[in-house]
Structure 1
Amino acid sequence: MGGLGSGNNNRWANKTDAFHKLDLSTFKREWFARYRSGAMTWSRGGHKIASINYHLSPQSMRLTYVSGSGDNKQSIDERFDLAFTPQHFGGLRWWIICKSCQRRCRVLYGAKLFRCRQCYELTYPSQYEFIRVPGLPIAETLKDKLGGEAGFAYPFPDKPKGMHWKTYQRYERVYYEAEERMEMALMGRFVSSN
C-alpha cells in the first residue's frame, strides 16, 4: 500500500508548475502591517511573461491584474481575506482564504483567476516522477534561472553578465551533481529491468 503508482493519479491533470504561483511566504509579515503595495512578476528564460499588483493590509490581500489577451482581455480586482491559526509554541500561522472554495491555503495559482490548488485540481510534478533523484528539481530551476533549455539533453548555459563566477560555479556544481545522480538512477533502473 502507498507504493509507486498507487492512488488515483490522473496522468492528464494539470501540474502546479504550469501555473503562476503566488506564495504567502513571499511577503514579509511587516508588509501587511504597513499596508504595502507593489508588483510581482514572473519570467521564463529571462523574459517577463506575467505580472500582478498587490495591496496588503493586516486582514487581506488585494490583487489587481489583467487576464487574457485581445478581445478576451479582462481587468481583475480581487480581495482575499487572511486567516490566522495559533502555533503550538506560540505565534500565528497566516493563511489566504480562497475566493472559490473558502479553504485556507498558503499558495494561490494563477490561470484566468488566482485560486487554490484544489479548485484547479492541480497535481504536483513530483507525483509523476518514477525515478526520484535528490537535487534534480533544484538543478532544473537553476538552469531555468540562467536562461537555459530544460532537460539534461541541453548544455548548461554560459555565465550571465553580472553574475559572480563563484555563484555561477556553485550553480554549475549543483547541476552536474544532480546530472550524475540522474545517470546513476537511470543505469540502476536499466540494470534492474534486464
Structure 2
Amino acid sequence: MSRPRERVCLQDGLKLDLNRLARKGFVRQGANIGVRGITWTHSYWGDVATGMISADMSGKEEGWFRIQLGSLDQWITLTARPRHFGGQQWYFVCPVRNRLVSVLWKPNGATRFCSRQTWGRQVAYQSQFNDPTNRAHAGKARIKSKLIADLDPDEWDFPPKPKWMRWATYNAYSDRHDRYDDVLDCGLIALAAKFYGK
C-alpha cells in the first residue's frame, strides 16, 4: 500500500544539478559565466519557474554559483575535488550541511536550495508515493525509454535490442521487464478475485 502524502514530493519542486548544468553549457570549468536565464519545466504542467543564474568557476579549487528566482537571491559556494584519473569534479557546498553534493533541491514551499539530506523526512521521492502496481508501470516505462531509440513506441511493448547494447544488458532489462509484468498480473488476479469473488 502506498504511503499517505504527509511529505512533500521532491520532484514537484525545483532541482539544480551541477553536472547537467555543465553539460548544457550553463556553467563551465575555468570560466566566469555571466548572467543566464534558466527555466524549469514539468512534463505535465509545462514551464514551472524561470530565474537567472551566474557562476564563477575560474578558481583552481573554489568558486560560486548564484541563483535569482523571484524574491530568492541565493549564493552557493562551489568547490573542486581531484578525480582519481586526473582532472577535477566540481560540487555545490550545501548551505546548511556543508557537505559536497552535485544536486540541490528546493521543494515546494521552501525558501532556498539545499541538499536532499537537509530536507530529511519533510520530503520524499515520487516513487515513495507509488504502490507496487504504479512502480511496475513506471519501471516498464523506464526500460522502454532506454531501449526504444528511434522506433515507434506504440508498436512495441518491449523493444528489440539496440545495436550498441550488449546482450547481457539487454537480457537483464528483459528479466526486469518480466518481473514487472508478473507484479501487474498478480495485481489483476487479486482485483478480479475481489470483484468476482463476491
Give TM class, smaller chain. 0.5 to 0.7
- CA distance in 1: counterparts of 2:129 and 2:45, whole angstroms: 27
Contact 1:32 1:56 in 2 (8 A): no
- Does 2:7 correspond to 1:13? yes
Please identify the structure whose Cα radius of gyration is greater. 2
2:183 aligned partner: 185
Between 1:42-51 and 1:124-133, the stretch displaced more is: 124-133
The gaps in structure 1 that reach 5 residues or longer are 67-74, 141-165
- CA distance in 2: counterparts of 1:46 and 1:14, whole angstroms: 17
Q: 2:83 aligns with which of 84, 87, 97?
A: 87
- CA distance in 2: counterparts of 1:76 and 1:136, whole angstroms: 36
- CA distance in 2: counterparts of 1:41 and 1:95, whole angstroms: 21
- CA distance in 2: counterparts of 1:119 and 1:92, whole angstroms: 25
Contact 1:109 1:115 in 2 (8 A): yes
Alpha-carbon offset, residue 13 of structure 1: 2.5
- CA distance in 2: counterparts of 1:46 and 1:15, whole angstroms: 15
Aligned-pair identity (%): 22
Q: How many residues get paired?
A: 152
- CA distance in 1: counterparts of 2:45 and 2:153, whole angstroms: 17
Q: Secondary structure at the match of 1:42?
A: strand
2:19 aligned partner: 25
The gaps in structure 2 that reach 5 residues or longer are 58-62, 160-176, 194-198
Q: Secondary structure at the match of 1:115?
A: coil
1:123 aligned partner: 124
Give the CA RMSD over aligned residues. 3.7
Residue identity opposite 1:106 in structure 2: S
Alpha-carbon offset, residue 129 of structure 1: 4.4
Q: With structure 2 as the length reference, what TM-score do the two structures score? A: 0.59
